[in-house]
Structure 1
Amino acid sequence: MSKRAVLEVIALDVEDAVAAQAAGADRLELVTEMAADGLTPSPDTVAGVRAAVGIDLRVMLRLADGFAAGDVDRLVRVAGELRSAGADQFVLGFLDADGGVDLAAVERVVGALDGCPWTFHRAIDRAADRDTLRRRLAGLPGLDTFLTAGAAEGVDEGLATLAAEAAHDGGPGYEQQILVGGGLRLDHVPRLRACGIEAFHIGGAARPKGWDGPVSVEAVARWRELLDGEDA
């Protein structure tokens, strides 16, 4: 039997979080402002969600659209406020103007997390060189996941890259779990599972009514059922 696949669902509020947990999600990515591809939620939202559900919760650290870090001092302050509100896992990722990882910004923010687990998000799909980015991040405390579609355009275009990274020897920069998200569909799952990928991230796929509607228990349950069927 394969290892049970991880299903992570984007949540905007308590209602989303409760629905995702009820449907079998293993983890939430908590964000706001999906029109900007997901920004940092308020400490009150974090506290409310943390009180409402028992599954893992990763909180976005991103102050503006795009992949520049922006005001790093503010990011560090916000990280502290979110930790005080109950956040103990995070999502972040910053690039410089040349498409390289902004290591100085990442290191400062990670320093404020004090060892909390975190995901480097889809900024990797916009990087000038994915391998270099991974290797430069190797060894940072708490980094255990890369959220990626394999390509900026989404999973359809990134399948070959995802398969290659999943087959990597696990050297520096490749020890982390690959969490696939970004245009992910149910029909991608069998091929990805066959490559050894064990973690899946859905946003719009959990919301039949779009981002103005809530997470659907039924939609998330379909993903859980498919993943569990692949695991059997």
Structure 2
Amino acid sequence: MGQRAVLEVIALGVEDAVAAQAGGADRLELVTDMAADGLTPTVAAFAEIRAAVDIPLRVMLRLADGFAAGDVDRVVRVARELRGAGADQFVLGFLDAEGGVDLRAVERVVGVLDGCPWTFHRALDHAVDRDAVRKQLDGLPGLDTYLTAGSPVGVDDGLATLLAEAARCGEPGYEQRLLVGGGLRLDHVPGLRAAGVDAFHIGGAARPEGWGRPVSAGAVEGWREALDAG
């Protein structure tokens, strides 16, 4: 079936990264502190992981739990430091107090990324108007992906939304790749693949023993095989 689907795996450190690559991951999302749903790793952690694997790394730009940008100056500073250390792909997304996209914060951060590719993450699932977010972000340099479950609570609840958005692929605001993640299970994959979704994001699913244990290369391999079969 068409081109190989992208499999992105959350990595918290070198052990995760090496196992994910061994299992067949195409790309890693680098974060720390999953208790806060994933925050920006240190520059040192990025450098360690970059030296350990050779697949693309998307680095989270998020300094606190929630979807507010917080101290934008600090986010910009951290983004610059990561760029200086060689990071060339990113993940970000900020909402304002009303649940709309914080366009000023997003534009300021994107302005220091030198056109690097980036994902707008699951802040989309917490926005009051998903379509409006996409229209407002359309045309920002480097934006090539939306990470979404279709719902704040996960793919089970968001499946209809995901299928509807996949069907709009190519429309203004919908040219970016749909990267599905957030409570994603293997049984969701066939229907999503049939709808044209070609990118999948896993975190807990790569860790059968829970977040306290590292990524399992075998679990990632199971996902790789399912996506390649799909």
Counterpart AA for 1:208: P
3-state DSSP of counterpart to 1:112: coil
Partner of 2:159: 159
Partner of 1:14: 14
Give RMSD over aligned pairs.
0.6
User: Aligned partners of 1:114, 1:71: CA distance in 2, in Å?
Assistant: 21
Aligned residues: 230
Counterpart AA for 1:38: G
User: Aligned partners of 2:169, 2:220: CA distance in 1, in Å?
Assistant: 32
CA deviation after TM superposition for structure 1 residue 83, in Å: 1.1
Partner of 1:195: 195
Asked if 1:136 is matched to 2:120, the reply is no
Partner of 2:23: 23
Partner of 2:75: 75
Counterpart AA for 1:86: G
Structure 2 stretches lacking a partner, 5+ long: none
Asked if 1:54 is matched to 2:54, the reply is yes
Counterpart AA for 2:214: P
Partner of 2:208: 208
Asked if 1:122 is matched to 2:122, the reply is yes
Partner of 1:92: 92
Partner of 1:170: 170
User: Aligned partners of 1:88, 1:170: CA distance in 2, in Å?
Assistant: 25
CA deviation after TM superposition for structure 1 residue 191, in Å: 0.6
User: Aligned partners of 2:195, 2:91: CA distance in 1, in Å?
Assistant: 25
User: Aligned partners of 2:155, 2:46: CA distance in 1, in Å?
Assistant: 29
3-state DSSP of counterpart to 1:113: coil
Sequence identity (%): 77
Counterpart AA for 2:16: D
Asked if 1:104 is matched to 2:113, the reply is no
Partner of 2:149: 149
What per-residue deviation string (whole Å, max 9, x for no partner) do you get for residues 67-105 of structure 1?
000000000000011111221000000000010000000
Structure 1: which 4+ aligned runs deviate by more than 6 Å?
Answer: none
3-state DSSP of counterpart to 2:87: coil
CA deviation after TM superposition for structure 1 residue 169, in Å: 5.0
Partner of 1:39: 39
User: Aligned partners of 1:53, 1:84: CA distance in 2, in Å?
Assistant: 19
What's the TM-score, normalizing by structure 1? Answer: 0.98
What's the TM-score, normalizing by structure 2? Answer: 0.99
Counterpart AA for 2:104: A
Counterpart AA for 2:90: F
